[in-house]
Structures are given as structure tokens and as C-alpha cells.
Amino acid sequence: MTENRFQKLLRERKDDYKTWVPVYCSALREYIYFNSQGFNHLRFKIDNTPRKPKETMYKLGLLPLVRSVIHMATKVDKYQRRLSPIGGSRTKILKEIEYWGLIEVVGKQNVKIRVVLRRIINSDKIYFWSVMKG
């Protein structure tokens, strides 16, 4: 894997991601929003340490399937509410956060994909947080 290939994929996915509009999720009966925190989580772990390029490319490769999973999901596979750090490694603020896991088989190759969504308690919107194979 060359640095150029990684940088090109990162730039292409980021440019595309910036154009995404909210997607309705039947499983939650709410619209799901996309912000820079969700995209950055594909590149950095919760403590703000960078993911390995191979792991980042894996997640970026699944990114085009995210909206289909959110749109097609009819039930929540997993729900969790816990205290989690926000703000990266420099800020150690703990907030209560809700997480939802959605799983659907999508794409041309019928791949089982898990999408993680999150909402900080006392916030009104649910945001995309992560993606991985199911």
C-alpha cells in the first residue's frame, strides 16, 4: 500500500462524505446525521491516536455502504448507554452517550455491515459514528 493510494482514498471519501445529507432510519424512527466527528473516528481512536493506515483504508472502503445500512435497517442489533470520553486525548471530559448498532446485508456482494450510531445525552440528534463488517 502506497501513501499516495491511502491519501487519494482519504481525500475522495472525505469529499464525498461532506455532501451527505441526513438519512431516515426506520429502526430508530429518526434521521441520522453525518458530521466531522464521525469521519474523524474512522481515522482516529477515541483517545485521538491514529488508526493504522490498513485499518483506516478498511473503514473508508466500507463507507459507501453506510447510508444503505441506516436506511434499510428495521431493528437495532445492539444498544448501549455509557460514560465515554469526548474531545480527544487533550480533554478528559466524560459524557453520557447512547450507542446503537445496526446490521444489514448490503452492496453488490451482499456483505453484512455493522454501523454504529451515537447521541450525546441531552443532544437532539443521532450521528454516524463507525462502520465495520458485521
pLDDT more than 90, % of the chain? 81
Q: What is the pTM of this model?
A: 0.92
Q: Identify the bridge partners of residue 120 per DSSP, sorted by sequence position.
A: 97
pLDDT, position 88: 65
pLDDT band at 17 (very low <50, low <70, confident <90, very high): very high
Calculate the average pLDDT of the chain: 92
Summarised one tens digit per residue, pLDDT across range 18-59 is 999 999 999 999 999 999 999 999 999 888 899 999 999 999
Cα pseudo-dihedral 84, 125, 59, 11, rounded to 10: -120
- Report the distance separating Cα 134 and Cα 116, nearest Å: 11
- Between β-strands 93-106 and 23-25, what pairing exists: parallel, antiparallel or unpaired? unpaired
Summarised one tens digit per residue, pLDDT across range 66-88 is 999 999 999 999 999 999 888 76
Q: What is the pLDDT averaged over residues 1-12?
A: 83
Q: Furthest-apart CA pair in the chain: how many Å?
A: 43
pLDDT more than 70, % of the chain? 95
Look at the block and give the residue holding cell 446503537: 100
